[in-house]
């Protein structure tokens, strides 16, 4: 079901957390709300669920206006960060709870619970208590409980934050598989760009209560609209150089760096600019030479990560395949791939 948020404003006491936000989640897609803590992503999620009320604006589930409805009447499934399973009920009772509240027939409940348990691979755990389950299993139960009454939308609040690294990888693909199999519209709140990029159809990056950019993961990575977006996506992160515009080129005078601003002409000389260079676009190959010294080297097995300090003190990150190793303190003359860099104005807007 398509979910649309229109002109949504939310204030807590005197602080406006979200101001006039518009967002449409397409039917059957999985959308990530990505942003640093305090950016309003969880507020948005809990507004869709009905836990928070909108101060202004409209929330539509399909053609139905649900802005004024309490949580109970919205038909929304939520998976909380700490799973929020009911500790005194076993797994079956946990999953069945939404159905027993609705007073479904006992045979129907049994059938539905077993079907959803099969989908989430927890059929053999139905008699256990939440306390006897591992984190990943609890996560599956929470998913099953959220999905069992076929909600209009599934909301996931940092669902992987409490899992250890290996389980996180497994559950990432599991959640995506279950979402695709049920075809449900889903919203994922996370501060982890890897989760957002790997699990979702589209990402909405939020900052201070506003959606900065909404795009598919690939588009957002290769075409960020602001320096904030560019800095948020990618691991290791992008590095920025400060400079000025000079004769249709980005220029850092002290180190004689000149990167031509190909598509953008007519920027006044002397304008302050920022150049964003992703680690994979700086290395031995490229077209614009930069000299520097290896200030930090980290082995990651398949790849090595280097910080290269330039003569003026700024640092460029680089990621290189293992094999040809540079040592700490080596002086290198590497190149920036000028076609893949991003140029931003001083306040972070992409040129």
Partner 1 sequence: MTRNFATWPIILLLTVLSLPLFIMYLFLLVDTFSNTPPGSLLPNEFTLEHWRFLIDPTITGDIWKPTLTTFLFAASMMVIVVSVSATAGYALSRLALPFRRFVLSGIMVMHAFPSVTLIIGVFLVLQFAGLYNSLIGVILVKASLMLPFGIWIMKGFYDAVPWEIEMAGVQDGASRFTVWRRIILPQVKPGLLSLALFAFIDGWSEYMLPRILAPSSDFEVLSMYLNTVSDPNSSTYNFNIFKSVGLFYTLPVLALFVLFQNRLMNIFGGGTKG
Distance between CA 225 and CA 83 in Å, rounded?
35
Does residue number 77 form part of the binding site for partner 1 (CB under 8 A)? yes
Q: Which residue has the tokens 């220029």?
A: 251
Nearer to partner 1, 93 or 210 (CB): 93
The rounded distance, in Å, linking the Cα atoms of 24 and 159 is: 22
For residues 101 and 322, which CB has a smaller minimum distance to partner 1 in the complex? Answer: 101
Rule CB under 8 A: choose which of 21, 25, 66, 76 binds partner 1.
76
Under the criterion CB under 8 A, does residue 11 sit at the interface with partner 1?
Answer: no
Considering the rule CB under 8 A, would residue 92 count as an interface residue with partner 1? Answer: no
The angle subtended at Cα 98 by Cα 51 and Cα 85, nearest 5°, is 75
By the rule CB under 8 A, 12 interacts with partner 1: no
**Which residue is it, tokens 């930090």?**
296
Select the residue interacting with partner 1 from 60, 84, 288, 309 (CB under 8 A). 84
**Which member of 8, 97, 250, 342 binds partner 1 (CB under 8 A)?**
97
Tokens 């998976």 identify what position? 79
Instruction: Verify binding: residue 159, partner 1, rule CB under 8 A.
Output: no
Whole-number Cα distances in Å, 78 to 199, 267, 291, 337, 348 = 17, 49, 52, 44, 35
Q: Per-residue contact track with partner 1, 104 to 143, x per CB under 8 A?
A: ----------------------------------------
Report d(CA 285, CA 73) in Å as an integer. 59
CB of 146 to partner 1, least distance (A): 8
> Judged by CB under 8 A, does residue 80 bind partner 1?
yes
The burial class, CB within 10 Å (0-12 / 13-18 / 19+), for 154 is buried
Q: Which residues bind partner 1 (CB under 8 A)?
A: 49-51, 70-72, 75-78, 80-82, 84-88, 97-98, 101-102, 145-146, 149
């Amino acid at each position: 079901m398509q979910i649309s948020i229109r002109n949504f404003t939310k204030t807590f006491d005197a602080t406006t957390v979200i101001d006039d936000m518009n967002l449409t989640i397409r039917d059957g897609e999985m959308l990530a709300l990505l942003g640093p803590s305090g950016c309003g992503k969880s507020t948005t999620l809990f507004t869709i669920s009905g836990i928070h009320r909108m101060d202004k604006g409209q929330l539509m589930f399909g053609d139905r206006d649900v802005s004024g409805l309490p949580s109970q009447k919205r038909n929304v499934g939520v998976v909380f960060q700490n799973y929020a399973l009911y500790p005194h009920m076993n797994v079956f009772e946990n999953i069945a709870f939404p159905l027993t509240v609705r007073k479904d027939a006992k045979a129907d409940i049994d059938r539905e619970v077993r079907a959803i348990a099969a989908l989430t691979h927890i059929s053999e755990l139905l008699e256990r208590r939440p306390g006897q389950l591992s984190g990943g299993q609890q996560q599956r139960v929470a998913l099953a409980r959220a999905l069992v009454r076929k909600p209009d939308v599934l909301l996931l609040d940092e669902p992987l934050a409490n899992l250890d690294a290996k389980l996180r990888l497994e559950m990432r693909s599991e959640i995506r598989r279950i979402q695709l199999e049920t075809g449900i519209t889903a919203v994922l709140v996370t501060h982890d760009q890897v989760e957002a990029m790997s699990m979702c159809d589209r990402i909405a990056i939020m900052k201070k209560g506003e959606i900065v950019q909404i795009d598919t993961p690939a588009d957002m990575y290769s075409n960020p609209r602001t320096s904030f977006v560019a800095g948020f996506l990618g691991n290791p992160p992008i590095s920025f150089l400060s400079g000025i515009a000079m004769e249709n080129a980005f220029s850092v005078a002290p180190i004689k760096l000149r990167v031509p601003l190909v598509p953008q002409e007519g920027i006044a000389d002397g304008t302050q600019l920022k150049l964003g260079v992703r680690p994979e676009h700086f290395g031995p190959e490229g077209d614009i030479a930069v000299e520097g010294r290896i200030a930090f080297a980290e082995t990651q097995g398949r790849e090595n990560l280097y910080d290269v300090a330039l003569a003026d003190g700024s640092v460029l990150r680089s990621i290189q395949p293992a094999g040809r190793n540079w040592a700490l303190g080596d002086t290198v003359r590497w190149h920036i791939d000028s076609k893949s860099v991003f140029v931003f104005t001083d306040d972070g807007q992409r040129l």
